Amino acid sequence: MSDCAKLEGRCLCGSVRFSAKPVNDEMGACHCSMCRQWSGGVFLSVDCGDSLEITNGDDLAFYSSSQWGERGFCKACGSTLMWRMQDGSHSVVSIQAFENPAQFRFTTEIFIDSKPENYAFANDTGKMTEAEFLAAYASTQDADNG
């Protein structure tokens, strides 16, 4: 999937539908407490940049979880769908919302210092603590805004 195609995604009941073009074929896991509570486990997602387009959003709702981010879900079936910047400039989408989640390579884990000790993935992934992730994200934002 080196030249990523636009993919169609949906919630469990189908009342929320969208399309997005992943930045690459890499998926990541977020272990932060908000993602774990929101998704009922680890949030596995793929970076879709600013390509997210909602095609049917009558039941799409967002929860503003921080000063900059919001979490999208279906208010009919409860499916966890996406995290995005409140201004819509960047989104990560649940791999489970796409028809073939196996198409993504598991490469990164973030907020590794928040991961409970009762589970671990066998995959060899890059791991970042909360501080490392926020520092890398801030430097990316500075470069984009500079």
Domains of the chain listed by start with CATH number: 7-108 (2.170.150.70)
What is the per-residue pLDDT for 128? 96
Rounded distance, CA 59 to CA 17, Å? 10
What value does the mean pLDDT of the chain take?
Answer: 92
| Residues 114, 84 contacting (CB under 8 angstroms) | no
Give the per-residue pLDDT at 140: 56
Q: Tell whether pTM > 0.75.
A: yes
Q: Give the mean pLDDT of 2-15.
A: 90
Is 21's pLDDT higher than 50?
A: yes
Which tops the pLDDT comparison, 146 or 43? 43
The dihedral sign for the CA sequence 83, 35, 57, 106:
positive
- The separation between CA 38 and the C-alpha centre of its own chain, rounded to angstroms, equals 12
Q: How far apart are CA 116 and CA 25, in angstroms?
A: 27
The predicted structure's pLDDT at residue 4: 82
